[in-house]
Chains A and B, each alone.
Chain A
Amino acid sequence: MSQIRNLKIIILIIGILLVLVIIRNSDRNVFKEKARTAVEATRNNSNLITLNQLKKLTSPYLIIDIGSEKRADSLQFQHAVKIAFSQLLDKANRKVLDEASGELILYADDIATTSRAWVILNQLGYKNLRILTIENSPEELKYKFQPDTTARLEQDTM
């Protein structure tokens, strides 16, 4: 008994530390993934999915629409869940994302928005996240640079 009384302070300190660690770990707003996973997941464009690939997809998926206005050229999906980007991390929306089975496919008119949402959700631990793109390769340069090779006097060049 006297031994336990001696250890009281030690047990108290370690107990407080344990509680703080558990509180920090259960905070849903803290990013727990390593940043490397985001960089590695974009290798070979494996986090992108085009419309054609989507049509051929056999596994279950859920489309999350995070910002498409009703314009003529924007797509509307029948069974998509509409979530505004600024409300992506609200409790109710997090529940929807947690309970989804299969692939989570993000779509917005602007691929900038989807990319940012993709990084946030990837680092929060969601796997099977994909960005839906309309074009087949959004990161391809569509122009060819023509260098200017005319000979000119020395003082005219850089």
Chain B
Amino acid sequence: MGPISIISEFPEWLNLLIAFFIGIGFGFALEQAGFSSSRRLAGMFYGYDTTVIKVFFTAAIVALAGSQLLSFFGLLNLKLVFVNPYYVNSAILGGIIMGAGFIMGGYCPGTSISALSIGKIDAMIFLLGGMVGAFLFMETYPFIQTIAMENYKGNMRIDEWLGVSSGVFTLLLIIAAVAMFWIAELAEKKFNRPDITSDI
């Protein structure tokens, strides 16, 4: 609860306790949306099940609109919110590797843990593979460091780069999200796989 200014006098243990409960809520939401099923997650790539984009994009725009409103009313200090540093090469390469792993394994790291919590064995193996990958990355880091650290753009934000105000960018993103949901619905009808969707 760091950035929320009104209650910033919380002691550290209370902050961590609230984070714990938020984590529980997040896991609950993931499991309840059906993200423990690898077939649902892979369906995003094949087109027969577009739950992933709907859930995550909705989460993103609710968080965006909510934080902008809180900042306007003085309850949240957006300057304290960390913006990831942007390395172009790392973002593209890492995205390709992660996307390939997602389709092949049917999980992404967060959903693999929520699937693990209901006892799925393939999630266990997936998580193990993920840790092996992280270990390999650390061991080979000196060799890939130059490629990974190239093209550093700083802590960029899209609305700064586009030159619009953050409110206008929120509206654009919400409209884009609604358009994506509509296209997702069309895709579900087109790439329908009743043999899989009845089983998820």
A residues lining the B interface (CB < 8 Å): 17, 20-21, 24, 30
Question: With A and B bound together, what is the CA distance between A21 and B72 in angstroms?
Answer: 8
Give, as a whole number of angstroms, the nearest-CB distance from B170 to chain A: 13
Whether a CB of chain A sits under 8 angstroms from the CB of B69 is yes
B167 to chain A, nearest CB (A): 11
Q: Interface residue tally of chain B, by bracket?
A: under 10
Using CB atoms and an 8 Å cutoff, list the residues of chain B in contact with chain A: 69, 72-74
Residues of chain A lying within 8 A (CB to CB) of residue B72: 21, 24
A-B contact count (CB 8 A): 6
Contact yes or no, A24 B73, CB < 8 A:
yes
B69 x A17 contact (CB < 8 A): yes
The 6 closest A-B pairs by CB, nearest first: A24-B73, A24-B72, A21-B72, A20-B73, A17-B69, A30-B74
Residues of A within 8 A of B74 (CB): 30
- Please, which residues of chain B bring their CB within 8 A of the CB of A17? 69
With A and B bound together, what is the CA distance between A17 and B73 in angstroms? 11
- List, in ascending order, chain B residues with CB within 8 A of A21's CB: 72
Closest to A24 in B: B73
Closest chain A residue to B69, Cβ basis: A17
Q: Which residue of B lies closest to A23 (CB)?
A: B73
**A16 to B72 alpha-carbon distance, docked (Å):** 15
A10 to nearest B CB, angstroms? 14
Which of chain B's residues has its CB closest to A21's CB?
B72
List 6 A-B pairs, Cβ < 8 Å.
Answer: A17-B69, A20-B73, A21-B72, A24-B72, A24-B73, A30-B74
